[in-house]
A and B are shown apart, each in its own frame.
Chain A
Amino acid sequence: MCVGVPAKVILKKEYSAVVDVMGSQTTVGIIFVPEVELGDFVIVHAGQAMSIVDESYARQSVEEWRRLIDARNSEAVK
Chain B
Amino acid sequence: MLEILKQSSNPEICRPLAEAVIEIALEFNRKFGRKPAFMEVCGSHTMSLARTGVKQVLKNEVNLISGPGCPVCVTDQRSIDAMIALAEGENRIICTFGDMMRVPGSAKTLLDSKIAGKDIRVLYSPVDAVRVAEENPDKEVIFLGVGFETTIPILTLMIGEAEKRMIGNFSIWMTTKLVEPVLRFLLDAGEVNLDGFLLPGHVSIVLGEESYQYLVDEYQISGVITGFETAELLSGIYKSIELALSGQAAISNNHPAIVSKTGNQVIHQWLDKYLTNCDEAWRGIGVIPNSGLDLKPEYDQFNAKKRFTVDVGEPRKTKCRCGEVIRGLIAPNECPLFGKACHPINPVGPCMVSAEGSCAAYYQYMRESF
Q: How far is the CA of A43 from the CA of B232 in the complex (A)?
A: 15
Contact A61-B151, Cβ < 8 Å, known A1-B71, A1-B356, A51-B259: no
> Residues of B at under 8 Å CB distance from A?
1-2, 4-5, 7-8, 13, 16-17, 19-20, 23, 41-45, 69-71, 97, 124-128, 147-148, 150-151, 153-154, 157, 200-203, 205-206, 228, 231-232, 235, 238, 254-259, 264, 266-267, 270, 356
Q: Which of B5, B44, B127, B154 contacts A3 (CB 8 A)?
A: B44
Is A54 in contact with B257, judged by CB distance below 8 angstroms? yes
Task: Name the residue of chain A whose CB is nearest to the CB of B71.
Answer: A1
A45 at the interface (CB under 8 A from B): yes
Min Cβ gap A70→B in Å is: 9
Which residues of chain B are near A55, meaning CB under 8 Å?
1, 4, 257
Interface string of A18-55 (1 = CB under 8 A from B): 00001000001101111000000101011110111111
| 3 cross-chain pairs, A with B, having the tightest CB-CB distances, nearest first | A47-B125, A2-B150, A1-B42
**Majority SS at the chain A contact face:** mixed
Task: Name the residue of chain A whose CB is nearest to the CB of B125.
Answer: A47
Which residues of chain A are near B42, meaning CB under 8 Å?
1-2
Min Cβ gap A13→B in Å is: 14
Is A64 in contact with B200, judged by CB distance below 8 angstroms? no
Min Cβ gap A36→B in Å is: 11
Contact A53-B202, Cβ < 8 Å, known A32-B267, A46-B124, A65-B231: no
Q: Which of B23, B232, B264 contacts A32 (CB 8 A)?
A: B264
Residue pairs across A and B with CB atoms within 8 Å: the count is 138
Which residues of chain A are near B148, meaning CB under 8 Å?
1-2
Q: How far is the CA of A3 from the CA of B124 in the complex (A)?
A: 11
Contact A32-B270, Cβ < 8 Å, known A45-B151, A65-B13: yes
How many chain A residues sit at the interface, stated as a range, is: 35 or more
Is A2 in contact with B266, judged by CB distance below 8 angstroms? no
Is B258 in contact with A48, judged by CB distance below 8 angstroms? no
Q: How far is the CA of A60 from the CA of B253 in the complex (A)?
A: 12
Q: How far is the CA of A9 from the CA of B199 in the complex (A)?
A: 27
Which residues of chain B are near A53, meaning CB under 8 Å?
1, 5, 257-258
Q: Which of A1, A51, A54, A65 contacts B17 (CB 8 A)?
A: A65
11 contacts between A and B (CB under 8 A): A1-B43, A1-B69, A2-B200, A29-B157, A31-B270, A32-B153, A33-B266, A41-B1, A47-B127, A65-B7, A69-B16
Min Cβ gap A20→B in Å is: 10
Is B200 in contact with A59, judged by CB distance below 8 angstroms? no
Which residues of chain A are near B356, meaning CB under 8 Å?
1
Which residues of chain B are near A43, meaning CB under 8 Å?
202, 205, 258
Min Cβ gap A73→B in Å is: 8
Which residues of chain A are near B124, meaning CB under 8 Å?
46-47
